[in-house]
Amino acid sequence: MTDKAKRKYPIAGTDFFTQIMDDNGYYVDKTDVIPWILGRKKHVILFTRPRRFGKSTMISMLKAFYEYRIDRDGKVVDNRHYFEGLKVAQDADAMALLGAYPVITLTLKDVIQHSFKDALGALANKIRLMYELCDWGWKYSGFDLDEASLQIIKRISGGTASESDLVNSIALLSGILHDATNRNVIILIDEYDVPLQSAFLHGYYDEMLTFLRTMMSSALKTNPYLERGVITGCLRVSKESSLSGLNNVESHTIMSEGKREFFGFEPWEVQEMLHYFDLDDAYPQIEYNYDGYNFCGRHAHNPWSVIMCTRALLEDAKYPYRTYWLNTSGNDIIADVIHQNDDIRKKCFDLLRGKTVRAAISEYLTWKDLQADSRYAWSLLTFSGYLKPVEYEDLPGDTWACELAIPNKEVSEVFAIQLGRWFSDKNALFDPLTLSDAFWQGDIATAKIQITAALQCMSYFDSVESFYHGMMLGLLGAANRYIESNIEYGSGRLDIAVWYRDRAFVIELKSITPSELQKLGITREYTNLDAATEDEKSSIDARLDVLKNEALKQIEDRQYAEGFIQRHPDVKNIRCYGIAFCRRWVEIAMKG
């Protein structure tokens, strides 16, 4: 990061490298990716990272670096000043290629329409813009277009292009720019798989796949004017993807080895930025909220969230540590996964409790795989940024056996919100906000009704405390930002703590285990209390009553509330809840 003058705070809301530099914004220098790209043997590189991990800024920076362009006066545009003092400026071989090639840029991130017809219209608009950015090639260079090319450009510009015009548009533009400059072209395609995700979700996957596959092949495989191509997306090439058939692509994913992370912010980069703005004390909380990604040993923070949080801190926002990634990442992915089956939901509850899930993940994944086999869900969640590999070992075929975990507090909130929405969708009687309000107000009766409504959604029960613990984290996390689990307070680990401003409530959970049910003489398998005999109901009720009070007493004996207030001195009012479960039955005790 250079210091011409004191840099403004990180600029959020723009992916344009030149705008960041023109506005004197703080830029986390990733320009050393340019020498890295030049050292690769393959002519086309695919970078896959989660959404909002700096891919579009990278594409914009590469465009500014490579671009050969002529202005209205017939002069070559010089972008050298943008790279003064940056890492790439220290590499003479790389700098020799600054401004060396015409650049074609296409971004597909907003092609998310509900039908193929509408998506094709959105693609047509993107391609029209792509041509407008390159029209210097025939307007200011003195190059005369042939009549056929001129007619296609008129159709693209006028919104009357055929599907054939669109699918061959990159290849045509490559030839025009090459003939106008006698230079090969750089092709940059951002978020190539967004249209496929939307097509999968809205039922036109095969049509979109055929279109993109043909476009990509003509642009990146059979294009004689291609110098280099860089593509970004979320998922890697697979046998059915839009990049299938391209034998000149090198993929660089979160599981690719390498010492440098070109997208997520590494810890030292975040610390350096915070130090620059005199915000060193904020790092522990930023680390807790937005760190935790493990890209084959490369430690990374979510760059979008770090930038947004740093801005909020500099603007003295009242609540700077928010869930910034929630509405930027296409969270229908996690919603779809959670809706698939009980086993996945059960494991999501475990993940919320800080546990890991062991699963095989593969880079060779398509959206259709998710529909065909729920096991692919773990790959999708990992490559989309919802999970991180804590430990992994290589398996044949670019597959890894992984211990997967939620990377940070922010993503944990996303899981909780989506789980809460699933319960609401399944049972109209359950509402996360009503449940939350009941705990805040000490309304045990309403809290019991809400939890019971949520329990009716479940078709299985482990009858162990850990299951209910994860479920309660999901239910309460859907309506509360400040929530912790299994944190040491007083003389033990408290199950759940929720707080806001000067008030809080803490929860300890207990459950009747299968062995306890047997001791009570209950051996039948049933989930509905109405199926139990009066004696069985009486035994279960009596045991739940004991357990809820034991839970409440544990809070008192281990001084969880006192320990919580010591660490959160702003909290003046705190309620304590002991909750006992048995399958679909719940009892609650309260103090405070």
Structural domain spans, the chain: 31-252, 267-314, 332-405, 427-591
pLDDT tens string 70-107: 999 889 999 999 999 999 999 999 999 999 999 999 99
Q: How many residues does the chain have?
A: 592
Nearest alpha carbon to residue 579 among 530, 514, 506: 506
Helices (H), ranges, 182-331 = 194-202, 205-220, 267-276, 283-290, 303-314
pLDDT tens string 392-450: 898 887 789 999 999 998 998 888 888 888 888 888 889 999 999 999 999 999 999 99
Nearest alpha carbon to residue 411 among 50, 57, 11, 58: 50
- Strands (DSSP E) along 69-125, which ranges? 103-107
CB 363 within 8 A of CB 236: yes
| DSSP tag of 575 | E
pTM attached to this predicted model: 0.85
Query: Fold for domain 31-252?
Result: Rossmann fold (3.40.50)
Strands 44-48 and 249-252, sheet pairing: parallel
Q: Strand, helix or coil at 462?
A: coil
Kindly list the distances between the CA atom of residue 71 and the CA atoms of 21, 135, 141, 181, 491, in Å, as whole numbers in the listed order.
20, 10, 9, 14, 71
pLDDT at position 550, please?
Answer: 97
| 366 vs 193: CA distance, rounded Å | 10
pLDDT tens string 490-532: 899 999 999 999 999 999 999 988 788 778 777 666 556 567 7
